[in-house]
Amino acid sequence: MMGPSENAAKTGIFFSCIEKEKLVTEQLVPEHLLLHVYTGKITITTADKSYVLAAGQTALFSKNQLARFTKESDGENTFKAVTVFFTKVFLQQFYTGFAPYQKTSDLMILYIEPHVLLDNLFKSVSLYSDLEDALIFDELSMLKVKEALTIIRALNKDVDMLLSDFSEPYKIDLADFMLKNFMFKISISRFAYLTGRSLATFKRDFEKIFGYPPQRWLTETRLRHAHFLIAEKKMKPSQVYLEVGFENFSHFTFTFRKFFGYTPSSLLSSQTHSL
């Protein structure tokens, strides 16, 4: 997989290509981003929804949301995509002088309908992935970022409402947020930020609500959910550990056995034999 180079991070364009048939990653989306799939498909799973983008499709994602990205080949072609990042500084400069847009809904993801202008944009962008001159790439990519923004604003009236919102996360219902997002592998400080709290306030509020420190609650909640997925949904432990937010399978198995007194594999085996 091609990683985001220093130039890509500055200019706002990142090319992604995987050789594997399937790759699953999790991340906090730090900036608004426009994702276009060239080949293969990608499934984006948030706390309560899943979105699928196939070859030729495009979507705009709001910043500060947790998501699991599952990238897959289509059997013949590897997964290839491009992401255009719209940074806060870039957007603030762009929208200077515009009348404020009223936010009427909590939009998180917008599908952008196919259009010949988008097709031409992403065809031209794909040519830049092979350029080696960083200075030329930097200058050209900034032009393409502006072009991309101009096109999607013309194609979808909700784009301005999403992109012109520069507010930071505000204090939200902590219990509801954690129960929906416990499976994502991010730090406690990130959870605090996304719920609109300082780390100290987050920890204090958390223990008042749940009666446990955050890390202990996260571990036990992930384990109980893993138990449910194996026992009730008949999922394989090798699939479950990623689903519930563990870094690796061996640590998941060790922690599961320590908490429940038996391994996840033995749980699946006993469930299979009882059928």
What are the pLDDT digits (tens) for 118-135? 999 999 888 877 655 444
Task: Tell me the pLDDT of the chain averaged across its residues.
Answer: 86
* Contacts with 61 (C-beta within 8 Å, 6 or more apart), sequence order: 29, 32, 33, 34, 35, 44, 67, 108, 109
Q: How far apart are CA 137 and CA 64, in angstroms?
A: 27
Q: How far apart are CA 189 and CA 203, in angstroms?
A: 9
One DSSP character per residue, 97-145 reads TSPPPPP-S---EEEE---HHHHHHHHHHHHGGG---HHHHHHHHHHHH
pLDDT for 109-119, tens place per residue? 899 999 999 99
- Which tokens is 152 given? 């999607």
The tens-digit pLDDT sequence of the chain (275 residues) is 334 433 344 557 887 777 677 788 877 888 899 999 999 999 998 888 899 999 999 999 998 889 888 999 988 888 999 999 898 888 999 998 887 676 666 678 899 999 999 999 999 888 877 655 444 456 777 888 999 999 999 999 899 989 988 877 888 999 999 999 999 988 999 999 999 999 999 999 999 999 999 999 999 999 999 999 999 999 999 989 988 999 899 999 999 999 999 999 999 877 655 55
Task: Give the pLDDT score at 130.
Answer: 64
Domain boundaries of the chain, sorted by first residue: 6-163, 174-273
Q: How far apart are CA 230 and CA 225, in angstroms?
A: 9
Top CATH class, 6-163 = mainly beta
Q: Which of 11, 153, 151 is nearest to 87 (CA)?
A: 11
Task: Give the pLDDT score at 165.
Answer: 81
Task: Give the pLDDT score at 4.
Answer: 40
> Given the structure tokens 């592998």, which residue do they identify?
185
Contact by Cβ (8 Å): 32, 60: yes
> Given the structure tokens 């290509």, which residue do they identify?
17
Task: Give the pLDDT score at 64.
Answer: 87
The one-letter amino acid at 93 = Q
Task: Give the pLDDT score at 103.
Answer: 66
| CATH numeric code, 174-273 | 1.10.10.60
